[in-house]
Every structure is written in structure tokens, then in C-alpha cells.
Amino acid sequence: MVTGMALVSTTPNHSFSDLGNGGWGTMILVGLIASVMAFVVSGMAGAFTAKLRRGLESGDATDEQLASYRRGLSTLGYVNAVLVVIAVGTMATARFA
């Protein structure tokens, strides 16, 4: 997110007022939104990790619960990877728009 903001502020002839306008602004806006979504998904993954750790340490969680936490972490990992690729890809190609 910070890198995207820095990219916008250091790009010649473009500013934050251009977000959503034209090819460059739309691509940068999509990248910024994807990066914020990736940040939120990472926070959710942290919550699942904490649940998994507590379940393993306490021994109170059933095997089904632990498997559910692992599946959730796996899914969030894939979603996060896709969002990061979208964010980086759209911001990197915005200069050609």
C-alpha cells in the first residue's frame, strides 16, 4: 500500500486526483484496492493462525476444528497471493496505459 502511494506521488504528470480517471488512474486505483484487500486478508490469516496455535497448545480443539483452521489458512493464502499479483501487476502495467 505504501509503495503504491509512493508510486502515485512520484509519477510525473499524475497525482492522487487522477485516481479512477483514464487508463493510468484506473489501473493504479485497482492496484491500491487490491493491496488494501490483501492487507485485510492477511489480518484474517493471522486470526486463523492464532486459533490454530491456541487449539494445538491447549489440546481442546478437535481434529475437525484443526483441519478447518488449516483449510482456512490455505484458502486465505491463495486469495492473498492472487490479490498481491493483481496489485503489483496493475500498478506495474499502469505506466503503459
**Residue-wise burial string across 2-26, b where 16 or more C-beta atoms lie within 10 A, e elsewhere:** eebeebbeeeeebeeebbeeeebbb
pTM for this one?
0.78
* Per-residue model confidence as pLDDT tens digits over 53-95: 888 888 888 889 888 888 989 999 999 999 999 998 998 888 7
